[in-house]
Structure 1
Amino acid sequence: MMRTVIIGGTAGIGLEVARHRLARGDEVVLTGRDADRAAAVAATVGDGVTGLALDLNDTHGLADALAGVDTVDRLVVAAIERDQNSVADYDVDRATRLAVLKLVGYTEVVHTLLSRMHSESSVVLFGGRAKDRPYPGSVTVSTVNGGIVGLVNALALEMAPIRVNALHPGIVGDSPFWAEKPPAVLDGYVSRTPTGRLATMQDIVDGVDFLLENRAVNGTNLYLDGGWLVT
């Protein structure tokens, strides 16, 4: 049986990936910051799912948090934290927290689990389209998502033959964050999306599966946004 580890799997896209991988027949390990919540969410997903407590900002504690995971066939690092931070009104603490979580934390998870992977293992990291389509207050988000591109390139080289890729979603219209927005807000984004529809959670899950399973895909940054940059 294949084991999929999902960092940031208690809500949103990470949770949808967990449900999908369990339905595929995988044993699933999902993580969240709170141990009770991680265990409770794992129980709702189904038998064969384990919940672990893990905080990507506690970089020195990640090895202990993942000590019980002995083998890894598929690794998805989907944990995110939203940050509104402009250069004119720059909050160093918030910026540092997000940079550590997304770049140092992601890398330390991979470092910790590397010896438990094998030549056919694969890794998917999450970035985001803010790196290419910044918005007011996205200075840190845009920067760290751009850093994921460099991280993927370096890891794909150093970890060969293990495959490492990244997925960069645009606005995911039915995700918990965006689904709560007023319809007029989403309609504005739809009008600027060539496909005439926003990405869905299922679109993102399908993209994760493609990156995890297609053995010819490596060092790739996959954009799922309906073609934003052509408008």
Structure 2
Amino acid sequence: MTESKSIVIVGGTSGIGLELAKRRASAGDDVVITGRDGDRCGSIAAGIGARCRGLAVELSDPAAIGAALEGVEKVDHLVVAAIDRDQNTAVDYDVSRALRLVTLKLVGYTEVVHTLLPRMAPDGAVVLFGGLAKDRPYPGSTTVSTINGGVTGLVHTLAVELAPVRVNAVHPGIVGDSPFWSSKPPEVLDGYISRTPIGRLATMADVADAVEFLLRNPAMNGVNLNVDGGWMLT
């Protein structure tokens, strides 16, 4: 029988983070999920089961992260899956929106690691979330492409600095059943499917499975793993 783990999933109230939380609780792990709204987070945690509890954490307010995570006592695995989007261009640049997203994903991610590191097991593992806009930008992805590239660098430096704790990242492509993409018109998704070698888009379960692999495999360290069904090859 696999020994149960204590896992913290920052951004575990929806999408891939929620998918992962359900999987780990079902497997017998003790799960902490975080979200911006404490009441909503607690309700979602109760729905997952007795092995899950929720905490309110706002990554765009890094100074408050330490206090928000004070109740977490032990961490074997840490997944920082919270994301946001910012439609921003250099021509029409909104500084406030850009600063919020940069703070959330680079400063906030790092502050979560900083806060929980003293409570992490020596053989612990961290998985961060980036995205393939770092390699394939689109109109309006100025901030998103920049910060996802920053996640790559963050993984590299943390893997060296935090050793023997392992640090990796997943960079999903288009996740067809995610809340953001599932609402798109079929003709939009069909265009992406036609360019994906596996003949379908990645799913939330696919990405969650990749996260579990990175957490589980003791030789995976400093890796930025694309999960896109080969979309980046076309």
Q: Which runs of 5+ in 1 are unaligned?
A: none
Q: Hey, what does 1:59 align to over in structure 2?
A: 62
Whether 1:163 aligns to 2:166 is yes
Whether 1:96 aligns to 2:102 is no
Alpha-carbon RMSD across the aligned residues, in angstroms, is 0.6
Q: Hey, what does 2:12 align to over in structure 1?
A: 9
Distance 1:12 1:118 in 2: 27
Q: Hey, what does 1:124 align to over in structure 2?
A: 127
Q: Hey, what does 1:200 align to over in structure 2?
A: 203
Instruction: Give % identity.
Output: 65
Q: Structure 2: which amino acid aligns with 1:38? A: C
Q: Structure 1: which amino acid aligns with 2:85? A: R
Q: Hey, what does 1:85 align to over in structure 2?
A: 88
Distance 1:229 1:37 in 2: 36
Distance 1:189 1:88 in 2: 27
Q: Structure 1: which amino acid aligns with 2:188? A: V
- Deviation of 1:2 (Å): 1.3
Pairing partner for 2:192 from 168, 189, 192: 189
Whether 1:28 aligns to 2:46 is no
Q: Which runs of 5+ in 2 are unaligned?
A: none
Q: What number of residue pairs does the alignment pair up?
A: 231
Q: Give the SS at the match of 1:113.
A: helix
Distance 1:120 1:152 in 2: 17
- Per-residue CA deviation, residues 71-119 of structure 1 (Å, 9 max, x unaligned), is 1000000000111001111100000000000000000000000000121
Q: Hey, what does 1:146 align to over in structure 2?
A: 149
- Per-residue CA deviation, residues 123-170 of structure 1 (Å, 9 max, x unaligned), is 000000000010000000000000000000000000000000000000
Q: Hey, what does 2:224 align to over in structure 1?
A: 221
Distance 2:190 2:121 in 1: 45
Whether 1:137 aligns to 2:149 is no
TM-score using structure 1 length: 0.99
- Deviation of 1:218 (Å): 0.2
- Deviation of 1:229 (Å): 2.3
Whether 1:37 aligns to 2:50 is no
Whether 1:69 aligns to 2:72 is yes
Q: Structure 2: which amino acid aligns with 1:138? A: S
Q: Give the SS at the match of 1:86.
A: coil
Q: Give the SS at the match of 2:75.
A: coil
Q: Hey, what does 2:111 align to over in structure 1?
A: 108
